[in-house]
Structure 1
């Protein structure tokens, strides 16, 4: 669990730096930071998305996941959780015209940062390496990347980014503890497909930050579950059909 704590600490530390930076910027500079963070997030998402191996799995997983997530309003539920966490942060009583409210978009920042830091092969593979081999190199590398992204996300959206460390702790902590039991089911194909579907979600975050379209990203989170199901069923179905 050491690597998980380091990753969470990097996110919190990066968020603190981002908050300090944001407190010294005008609304115009905030927009510049948010646009820059949006495009960088989009680039990261595209790099991940193109690592898929089966476009049918990716397409079906994203569409089916989006439908299920919309029906159960997953985005709304996670935003509600973010609003509950916001109560733990002291509210600023006043704010001048040019200063940035630290709690602005708290739930939105919590949601987007949680998705960004939790999806992807580094979170999964790094947790397995840490849990099985006591090799923390991947998670430590991820921690550095997450820390820098936390700076830009906090500067753009507020302190809600820091609370995504809770999601990272629960997600990567669970993967680390369950790594021995889960690892046999995680093949190279599984990692590739999960990276692809996760990349699509990150692209959605980038689009939101840039302001091109308002996408309820969390509604597409079930795509990750559908990806796992499709990959696990692929071989049995092929064998049954004699392919």
Structure 2
């Protein structure tokens, strides 16, 4: 298992560099670059959506997953974790100036999806688990290495905390790959990709400040989409 370690190291290194260089970065760069990364997220989402095989189960998974996320207040839980993390980090480092608590929590949720639940990370971990090829995760690591410093320049070292869910997701997928992939079909994987693309698209809108989609509450859709796609193929 090489890719998850490389990706985690890139996220931590980028966050630390951004945390130290934050005051030295030009305000225009700190303000505009997140819009570039948000645009990239939307583009990646669109590229994943067009792979869809059965649109109905994808939409159903997104709706049911979001309803479940709203009921259990998943995004609120993520935000509470973010707030506690920020307080803990700021006790041992400089305060994260230039950004309100509300904006910090909003960006933290979007970055959780971007770093930990992106299509590249999920498929990269599954691919390495099945074939030993870590290329996709290395490519993601390069992107994260340049993305993390920009957000850490305003959000501080707390961005590095995201390595925990990132490594947990990728590590579990790597270990479970040989059990999961034999149970899937190309159509199920295509619909899984499309579901992730919709969430990535919403994440891009949120990062760019266009529309604050509740991406944290959409996360359960990842669990539902492949079973629903399988049932749809069997009975519809």
Return the TM-score normalized by structure 1: 0.82
CA contact (8 A) 1:19 1:102 kept: no
Q: Which residue of 1 aligns with 2:15?
A: 15
Q: 1:8-28, CA deviations, whole angstroms, 9 ceiling, x for partnerless residues?
A: 001111222333443213544
Q: Which residue of 1 aligns with 2:207?
A: 209
Cα distance, 1:220 vs. partner?
1.0
Does the C-alpha gap of structure 1 residues 6 and 164 become closer, same or farther in structure 2, counting only changes over 3 Å? same
1:32-181 equivalences under 5 Å are 32-91=32-91, 100=98, 105-155=103-153, 157-181=155-179
Q: Distance in 1 between matches of 2:137 and 2:210?
A: 32
CA contact (8 A) 2:124 2:136 kept: yes
Q: Which residue of 1 aligns with 2:232?
A: 234
**Which deviates more, 101-110 or 198-207?**
101-110
Partner secondary structure for residue 90 of structure 2 = coil
**Which deviates more, 126-135 or 196-205?**
126-135
Unaligned ranges ≥5, structure 1? 239-243
Paired residues in the alignment total 235
Cα distance, 1:236 vs. partner?
3.6
Q: Distance in 2 between matches of 1:90 and 1:104?
A: 16
CA contact (8 A) 2:30 2:151 kept: no
Q: Distance in 2 between matches of 1:54 and 1:181?
A: 24
Greater fraction helix: 2
Q: Which residue of 2 aligns with 1:241?
A: none
Q: 1:11-62, CA deviations, whole angstroms, 9 ceiling, x for partnerless residues?
A: 1112223334432135444322233332222222222222222221222122
**Which deviates more, 185-194 or 161-170?**
185-194
Cα distance, 1:189 vs. partner?
1.9
Cα distance, 1:199 vs. partner?
1.4
**Which deviates more, 149-158 or 193-202?**
149-158
CA contact (8 A) 2:57 2:232 kept: no
CA contact (8 A) 2:116 2:162 kept: no
Partner secondary structure for residue 89 of structure 1 = helix
Partner secondary structure for residue 23 of structure 1 = helix
Partner secondary structure for residue 89 of structure 2 = coil
Q: Distance in 2 between matches of 1:117 and 1:230?
A: 26
Cα distance, 1:102 vs. partner?
11
| Structure whose CA Rg is larger | 1
Q: Which residue of 2 aligns with 1:221?
A: 219
CA contact (8 A) 2:65 2:224 kept: yes
Cα distance, 1:151 vs. partner?
3.1
Does the C-alpha gap of structure 1 residues 94 and 71 become closer, same or farther in structure 2, counting only changes over 3 Å? closer
CA contact (8 A) 2:119 2:197 kept: no
CA contact (8 A) 1:105 1:158 kept: no
